[in-house]
Amino acid sequence: MAKLYYEKDADPALIQGRKVAVLGYGSQGHAHALNLAESGVDVRVGLRAGSPSAAKAEEAGLRVLPTAEACAEADLVMMLLPDPRQKEVFEADVAPHLREGDALFFAHGFNVRFGQITPPAGVDVAMVAPKGPGHLVRRTYVEGGGVPALVAVAQDATGKAHALALSYAHGIGATRAGVLETTFAEETETDLFGEQVVLCGGLTALVQAGYETLVDAGYQPESAYFECLHELKLIVDLMYEQGISGMRYSISDTAEYGDLTRGPRVIDDRVRGTMREILEEIRSGRFAEEWIAENEAGRPRFEALRRAGREHPIERIGSELRAMMPFISAGRQRLEDVSGG
Ligand code: NDP
Ligand code: MG
Ligand code: MG
């Protein structure tokens, strides 16, 4: 059985005794900084000169410093910048201020796992990775709950890195929901696999292919949209609350029989083979190399694919139909406001 930690397993005093610099004030950054501050932690937010995020952090009552100054003051630095930007910021502004006994924290293992950032000896290196977007990390904390998180230690210089990571997880509310022990490699590889194969890549391709199949066969795009995209939420909510069996209990027997007999034909042995190939690209570092090179080249392929995705017919029909159901997007602006982008 995996090791899980809860409130009683963490010592809040450890993180309350540190000077924490949260670098970045985006999705995760705003949530960590605000939750830690409200948990009695001494927090400063580190941002680049002229950062559009600075005003938001200051309005929220946080102290904002240029990245290097925040790191110079702090004895624990949490890297909450976009992953492809972390290496250059680490080299310029973080590494020069890391002293023996300091701690360097991450919310995702990418840069350590794929050798982009190699922290100096003498520094604790740990991860506290919430398993949810930043706006949920903030909202659930305010409501008295939390988002589950993973913790891992890549380098234990002080012998206390693990306890410090649990204390940090407590400060952002994660121990209220459960904190799972993992490694940088497991977190990074499973996170990339999940988002590529199931949560984002697999799901969006499945929805688009189902939509296209119906429209190509002459069905109304509106029907195809409701059937292949809109209804997903109901199914996902049921799975989230009660698992796959609970979801199947709620659907009709006809739907369940179709699910059981047709699902494995869609996700067949060929698709499973492709999943294993994609996992291998992740583990071998080939995906990381590709993504790093894409960023270095100014992201031409990424931007072209992004544009093509936005131009898919399902987006136009979807925005027309959702405009008639304003209640669906009602909470959205508010979430964007707090997540800082
Ligand atoms: P965001 O993209 O939301 O971070 C944006 C922040 O980084 C802004 O404050 C922005 O400031 C700053 N920033 C952007 N570019 C630079 C730069 N070149 N130099 C300095 N600052 C910059 O990041 P996320 O919160 O999505 O991700 C942060 C970390 O958390 C990553 O490691 C990610 O993998 C991890 N994570 C993210 C999750 C999520 O839900 N998004 C979930 C779990 C983990 P400015 O205003 O100056 O642009
Ligand atoms: Mg991810
Ligand atoms: Mg149906």
For residue 271, what are its two tokens?
């698709």
- CA nearest 190: which of 172, 167, 12, 198? 198
Known binding positions for NADP(+): 25-28, 48, 51, 53, 134
What's the whole-number mean pLDDT along residues 175-204? 97
The SS3 of residue 45 is strand
Residue 74's pLDDT is what? 98
Q: Which residues pair with 129 in a beta bridge?
A: 150
Spatial separation of the C-alpha atoms in residues 144 and 312, rounded to whole Å: 40
Cβ of residue 202 lying under 6 Å from some atom of ligand 1 = no
Residue ID of nearest Cα to ligand 1 atom 44: 107
Q: Quick check: pTM over 0.95? A: no
Confidence class of residue 329 from pLDDT cuts 50, 70 and 90?
confident
Known binding positions for Mg(2+): 191, 195, 227, 231
Q: Kindly report the CA angle at 242 between 170 and 326, in degrees rounded to 5?
A: 85
The DSSP call for residue 198 is I
Residue ID of nearest Cα to ligand 1 atom 18: 85
Cβ of residue 173 lying under 6 Å from some atom of ligand 1 = no
Residue 77's pLDDT is what? 98
Site of tokens 């093509």: 308
Give the ligand whose atoms come closest to the C-alpha of residue 251. Answer: 3
Under a CB-based contact definition with an 8 Å cutoff, are residues 77 and 94 in contact?
yes
The answer to whether residue 39 scores a pLDDT higher than 70 is yes
ipTM exceeds 0.85: yes
Confidence class of residue 332 from pLDDT cuts 50, 70 and 90?
low
Site of tokens 């409701």: 226
- To test the ligand 1 pocket, which listed residue (79, 80, 139, 337) has its Cβ within 8 A of the most ligand atoms? 80
Cβ of residue 191 lying under 6 Å from some atom of ligand 1 = no
What's the whole-number mean pLDDT along residues 123-149? 97
Alpha helices per DSSP H over the chain: 12-16, 27-38, 53-59, 67-73, 83-89, 110-113, 134-142, 161-171, 184-193, 201-216, 221-225, 232-250, 253-266, 269-283, 286-296, 300-310, 313-323, 332-339
